[in-house]
Amino acid sequence: MGSSPTITLHDKAFRPYLSAAELATAIDGVAARLNADYAGRRPLFVVVLTGGFMFAADLLKRFTGDCEIVFIRVASYEGTGSTGTVQEIMGLREDVQGRDLILVEDIVDTGTTLHHLLPTLRAKNPASIEIAALFFKPASLRHDLVLNYIAREIPNDFVVGYGLDYDGLGRNLPEVYVAA
């Protein structure tokens, strides 16, 4: 990202990691695959809040077919680490039986959030469930998950910006920063 300065959120410094242009290119790739795979279908995008909102907005702008979008909210982070438990804060109320679901996540780290959500969603009898994630940290994964739509794999570093936060701060940044 070259000219972007190091930033401080709360007590932690972060340095530039991915520019808005690099993020856009990665999202273009995911959208192109979804457009091809879901041509003629009407998927329901299930966005995991809060972190997934920016990725979802840009991804859905690039999706060319008919679709619907709903939001669920869960929490599994505190500070810079996963708590290892998931609190479901706001659940899915829509009837998803027979629907193609695409879960939209900001980041798949340990996989705990998805490990918790997938059985709940499968019990509602959708036709299919796929995962679209902005970031995936393969070195952190603790659960067996199938991830078919990943914008970018990243190392096991803590990142903020573009929807991802550090104790509530940094979500509004248009680029991504990594802990310095």
> Annotated active-site positions, please?
109
Element (H, E) at 101: strand 100-108
Q: Are 134 and 27 in contact (CB under 8 A)?
A: yes
Measured over the CA atoms of residue 56, residue 17, residue 173 and residue 78, the dihedral's sign is positive
Residue 18, CA distances (Å) to 12, 37, 133 in order: 18, 27, 16
SS3 content of the chain, % helix, strand, coil (to 5): 25, 40, 40
Closest residue by Cα to residue 174 from 163, 165, 166 = 163
